[in-house]
Amino acid sequence: MLIEDIPGYALLIREMLKESSAVQFELVHVERLEDGLICLQKETVDVVLLDLHLSDSRGLDTFIRVHAQVPGVPIVILTGFDDETLALEAVRKGAQDYLVKGQVVDSDLLIRSMHYAIGRKRAEEALRASEEKYRELVQNANSIILRRDPEGHITFFNEYAQKFFGYTEDEILGENVVGTIVPETDASGRDLKAMIEDVG
């Protein structure tokens, strides 16, 4: 999808995409942000090419609104020479890339940027799904799993550990392992705190 209010530039983008021999692109073009948001509710798109200065929206808010509506879709910012700072801010907030309009002179740069944006977004989504699956496995494991920081404060306590030790997550997070779930010394008088610190 292309959200761009300058017809001549939209035509240039369309022509560049037609030049690609490796991949066929179907381009949906709208000139206003509101039309783009409506279209994004109905259409599934692989990437959004977005001008930040449209007739009905200007600046970073343009990106924020599109990103909020389709957070899983990569967005490539199209910007003028004097807007690179704004484009970089959009990248910091989640845009995959930005292209300066006057420098996009061949289809290879545009297509490469789109492919990289799609690839990065898919990799991010795969990583997020993998991390979520890992978190779920750890949280629901039938074993005590906890994580602590270098000072011994508990930063993660899975459900099995909560049931086993009788603490809720709110009660235990931030507490020191020693003195809560591990006594200061064992039955023979060994300093368990020192032993735990040695283990790391």
Domain that holds residue 48: 2-132
Q: Number of folded domains in the chain?
A: 2
CATH at residue 63 = 3.40.50.2300
Domain end call among 111, 132, 153: 132
Instruction: Tell me the C-alpha distance between 171 and 72, whole Å.
Output: 35
* Model pLDDT for residues 80-137, shown as the tens digit of each residue: 767 778 888 988 999 999 888 877 667 788 888 888 988 888 898 899 999 999 989 9
Assess whether 11 and 38 both reside in one domain.
Answer: yes
**What tokens does 46 get?**
């692989």
Assess whether 162 and 124 both reside in one domain.
Answer: no
% of residues, the chain, pLDDT over 90: 48
Assess whether 164 and 120 both reside in one domain.
Answer: no
Beta strands in the chain (DSSP E): 2-3, 29-30, 48-51, 53-54, 57-58, 75-79, 97-100, 146-148, 154-157
Assess whether 17 and 108 both reside in one domain.
Answer: yes
Assess whether 24 and 116 both reside in one domain.
Answer: yes
Assess whether 159 and 182 both reside in one domain.
Answer: yes
Confidence of residue 193 (pLDDT cuts 50, 70, 90): low
Domain end call among 132, 160, 186: 132
Instruction: Tell me the C-alpha distance between 119 and 125, whole Å.
Output: 10
What is residue 177's predicted lDDT score, i.e. its pLDDT?
83
Assess whether 184 and 123 both reside in one domain.
Answer: no
Let me know: does 12 contact 105? Beta carbons within 8 Å: no
Assess whether 162 and 123 both reside in one domain.
Answer: no
- Of 91, 90, 28, nearest to 62 by C-alpha is 90
| pLDDT surpasses 80 at 73 | yes
Domain end call among 132, 161, 187: 132
Assess whether 152 and 126 both reside in one domain.
Answer: no
What is residue 196's predicted lDDT score, i.e. its pLDDT?
57
What is residue 48's predicted lDDT score, i.e. its pLDDT?
96
Confidence of residue 36 (pLDDT cuts 50, 70, 90): very high
Assess whether 35 and 71 both reside in one domain.
Answer: yes
Cα Rg for the chain, rounded, in angstroms? 26
CATH at residue 192 = 3.30.450.20
| 158 to 116, 178, 197: CA distances (angstroms) | 37, 18, 21
Let me know: does 79 contact 100? Beta carbons within 8 Å: yes
**What tokens does 66 get?**
């599109």
Assess whether 17 and 110 both reside in one domain.
Answer: yes
Assess whether 147 and 113 both reside in one domain.
Answer: no
Mean pLDDT of the chain: 86
What is residue 79's predicted lDDT score, i.e. its pLDDT?
82
